Amino acid sequence: MATVAGWVEAVREADARSLARVLSVVENRGPQAEELLRALFPAGGGATTIGVTGAPGAGKSTLVDQLAREYRRRQERVGIVAVDPTSPFSHGAILGDRVRMQALFGDPGIFIRSMATRGSLGGLSAATADACAVLDAAGFRRVMIETVGVGQGEIDIVQLADVVLVVLVPGMGDDVQTLKAGILEIADIFVLNKADRGADRLQQELRAMLGLARRADGWRPAIVQTVATEARGIAELCAAIADFESFQAAEDRRAARRREQWRRRLERLLRDRWYEAALAPHLPAAALDEAADAVAARRSDPYGAAEALIAMARRAAERG
Q: Which of residues 179-218 bind a second copy (CB under 8 A)?
A: 179-185, 209-210, 212-213
**Site size toward a second copy, by CB under 8 A:** 86
Nearer to a second copy, 51 or 70 (CB): 51
Nearer to a second copy, 133 or 241 (CB): 133
Q: Which of residues 65-84 bind a second copy (CB under 8 A)?
A: 84
Binding of residue 242 to a second copy (CB under 8 A)? no
The mark string for 39-68 relative to a second copy (x by CB under 8 A, - otherwise) is --xx-xx---------xxxx----------
> Rounded to the nearest whole angstrom, what is the least distance from the CB of residue 267 to a second copy in the complex?
6
Nearer to a second copy, 88 or 284 (CB): 88
| Of 15, 217, 266, 315, the one binding a second copy by CB under 8 A | 266
> Rounded to the nearest whole angstrom, what is the least distance from the CB of residue 19 to a second copy in the complex?
20
Nearer to a second copy, 1 or 288 (CB): 288
Nearer to a second copy, 108 or 302 (CB): 302
Looking at 73-81, 150-158, 196-204, 219-227, which segment touches a second copy (CB under 8 A)?
Answer: 150-158
Binding of residue 305 to a second copy (CB under 8 A)? yes
- DSSP string over the chain: --SHHHHHHHHHHT-HHHHHHHHHHHHTT-TTHHHHHHHHGGG-S-SEEEEEEE-TTS-HHHHHHHHHHHHHHTT--EEEEEEE---TTT-S---TTSHHHHHHTT-TTEEEEEEE-TT--TTHHHHHHHHHHHHHHTT-SEEEEE--S-TTHHHHHHTT-SEEEEEE-TTTT--GGGPPTTHHHH-SEEEE-SGGGT-HHHHHHHHHHHHH---TT----EEEE-BGGGTBTHHHHHHHHHHHHHHHHGGGHHHHHHHHHHHHHHHHHHHHHHIIIIIGGGS-TTHHHHHHHHHHTTSS-HHHHHHHHHHHHHHHHHH-
Looking at 11-19, 74-82, 144-152, 193-201, which segment touches a second copy (CB under 8 A)?
Answer: 144-152
